[in-house]
Structure 1
Amino acid sequence: MNNNKPYIIGIAGGSGSGKTFFLKCFLHHFSADEVCLISQDDYYRPVATQKIDENGWINFDLPEGIADEKLLEDLKLLMAGNSIERKEYTFNTNEENAKLLNITSAPIIIVEGLFVFHYPEIAALFDLKIFMDADEEITLNRRISRDEIERGYTRDMVMYQWVNHVMPAYKQYLLPYKGSCQKVIMNNKHVADDIIDISKEISDELKETVLAQ
């Protein structure tokens, strides 16, 4: 292994699969100079350029809605040991008020997001692919809870997006890559113990195989 090359981890999973919680648990096992995180969500193209469906809804669940060429460029900068700056994407926060993130390269670089396995040039850089999985009924219920609380959506609005945007995108742009992932993590339980244990197990492996080099 080339000690100068960071170890690149790709983490993807459908809406409600638990990516955010897994990452929180996973990152807890490392110091800031051991790992850095780059999120696909921070590369959304401007809202005005997003595709509108036949009923006038913006469809945020399409790979072309992400500036993947910029994501690739920034990832390569981090791999070369450089730092990057990126505005954090948060729902209902416009770009002018977005928090500016300064991301410093580290021995382990994590790239997470819905479509990170779909972009060939980005996927080719991953040393480890992790797929977060959960049954559809469970992911839908998590999505409903999140969008009603955090986004003020009605259940009808959530269901429209789920049926017309979320699930078609999941089946076309994410699920086909599940078989190419080295680790598939099922996250159907409502208790955190399993995810905490799995995140520790993977982090221990990486400390032995990557950071100890």
Structure 2
Amino acid sequence: MNNKPFIIGIAGGSGSGKTFFLNCFLHHFKNDEITLVSQDDYYIPAGEMTAEENKLYNFDLPTTIDHEQFSVDIKKLLKGEVVYKKEYNFNNPLAVVKILEINPAPIIIVEGLFILHFKEIMSLLDHKIFIEAEEHVALDRRIKRDGMERGYPEDDVLFKWHNHVMPSYKEFLLPYKEDCHQVIVNNNNTPDHIISITEKIAEDLKVKFCKERG
């Protein structure tokens, strides 16, 4: 690999369990071995909105993402540079905005809904992982998450799911499923399944690194 970082792209629709997968995967490495760049931190600020405006605003479109800066920052990490980025606060005016320090590492994880749709970003990926779940499972997870973490009424969650989330998933992510190196079905809510999968991928990567780096 000539010390070039190995970039893994992890894509999955809402409710696929991508966040849990990522947390499990990162757990298998030391901090200086791996770094994460999340599409969520590249939303173009939409400004303050009322509850009704927030319900109607479609966050599930590629145009809501500053994909050019996303790409620039990935390339900086490839060159060994540190990236500083404001953490996105999901339009919550009460949230304390953090400045993220994203350090270069031998393994770079790039995750998000549109990472395969953005051609320049997809071209940088060495290994692509697609995480999916059956729609009813994913919707149930979304309802629970948005209710507990963001206080959204279930009716609002269902509106966004049927009008924004699923149409976007089918148009901007699902077509790339067959181009991925691995497809992981995550319908099971018990953690053992995902932990074992991430452990196997991590072990394979570490063996690969040892061989290629002598």
TM-score, normalised to structure 1's length? 0.93
Q: Runs of 4 or more off by more than 6 Å in structure 1?
A: none
Please show how residues 61-140 of structure 1 align to structure 2 within 5 Å: 61-94=60-93, 97-140=96-139
The amino acid that maps onto 2:16 is S
Aligned CA RMSD, in angstroms, stands at: 2.1
Q: CA deviation at 1:211?
A: 5.0
8 Å CA contact 1:134–1:186 kept in 2: the answer is yes
Name structure 2 gaps, 5 residues minimum.
Answer: none
Task: Give the whole-Å Cα distance in 1 for the aligned partners of 2:200 and 2:144.
Answer: 29
SS class of match (1:97): coil
Against the structure 1 CA distance between its residues 69 and 96, is the aligned structure 2 distance closer, same or farther, given a 3 Å change threshold?
A: farther
Residues 118-149 of structure 1: CA distance to partner in whole angstroms, max 9, x if unpaired?
Answer: 00000001000000110000000000011111
SS class of match (2:205): helix
Against the structure 1 CA distance between its residues 55 and 102, is the aligned structure 2 distance closer, same or farther, given a 3 Å change threshold?
A: closer
SS class of match (2:152): coil
Name structure 1 gaps, 5 residues minimum.
Answer: none
Identity of aligned residues (%): 55
SS class of match (1:47): coil
Instruction: Give the number of equivalent residue pairs.
Output: 210
Q: Determine whether 1:21 maps to 2:47.
A: no
8 Å CA contact 1:27–1:35 kept in 2: the answer is yes
Task: Give the whole-Å Cα distance in 1 for the aligned partners of 2:96 and 2:171.
Answer: 33
Residues 5-43 of structure 1: CA distance to partner in whole angstroms, max 9, x if unpaired?
Answer: 100010000000011000110000101110000000000
Against the structure 1 CA distance between its residues 211 and 147, is the aligned structure 2 distance closer, same or farther, given a 3 Å change threshold?
A: farther
What is aligned with 1:152?
151
The amino acid that maps onto 2:100 is L
TM-score, normalised to structure 2's length? 0.93
Residues 165-213 of structure 1: CA distance to partner in whole angstroms, max 9, x if unpaired?
Answer: 0000000000000000001111001111110000000000110112552
What is aligned with 1:37?
36
